[in-house]
Amino acid sequence: MGNFFKEFREFISKGNALDLAVGLVIGTAFNAIIKSLVADIITPLISLLFNADLRSLKVLLRGDVVGVDPVTGLDIYSEGTIWLTYGNFFQAVIDFLIIALAIFLALKVITKLGNKLKNVKAAIAPNKEKVE
């Protein structure tokens, strides 16, 4: 059992495991920022185009209107009503595209900075190849 904990301690102390943990924490925070961007800024703008809340877009697949709520004035549907809520799907697609774009741009900047660093190192040590 002592050998297991020794191996686990060595694994945790490796740089890759720590980098992964830091990446996970930053990724989680980044996800919260992107979700807020989509929910609080982009979705309302798209909702202006559809003249409705994007998440409320849906199609009734099965069920009937059985009455009207006297307080809200909204339709009341029969039990077992099934909705195709495609607005939620659109919201998820927009989230994905924005996250993918942000990751793409971040990787592009990191790669560019890495290449510049390699060029600086190559200028200092001329026997190394220059990267463009």
Chain-centre distance for alpha carbon 79: 35
**CA geometry: angle 77, 78, 81, nearest 5 deg:** 85
For 52-99, the pLDDT digits (tens) are 777 788 898 898 888 888 998 888 898 989 989 898 888 888 888 888
Question: How far is the C-alpha of 121 from the C-alpha of 67, rounded, in Å?
Answer: 75
pLDDT at 128 over 60: no
Per-residue pLDDT at 15 exceeds 70: no
Ordered by where they begin, the domains of the chain are 2-124 (1.10.1200.120)
d(CA 106, CA 35): 17
If you average pLDDT over residues 105-111, what whole number do you get?
86
Q: What pLDDT, on the 0 to 100 scale, is given for residue 131? A: 54
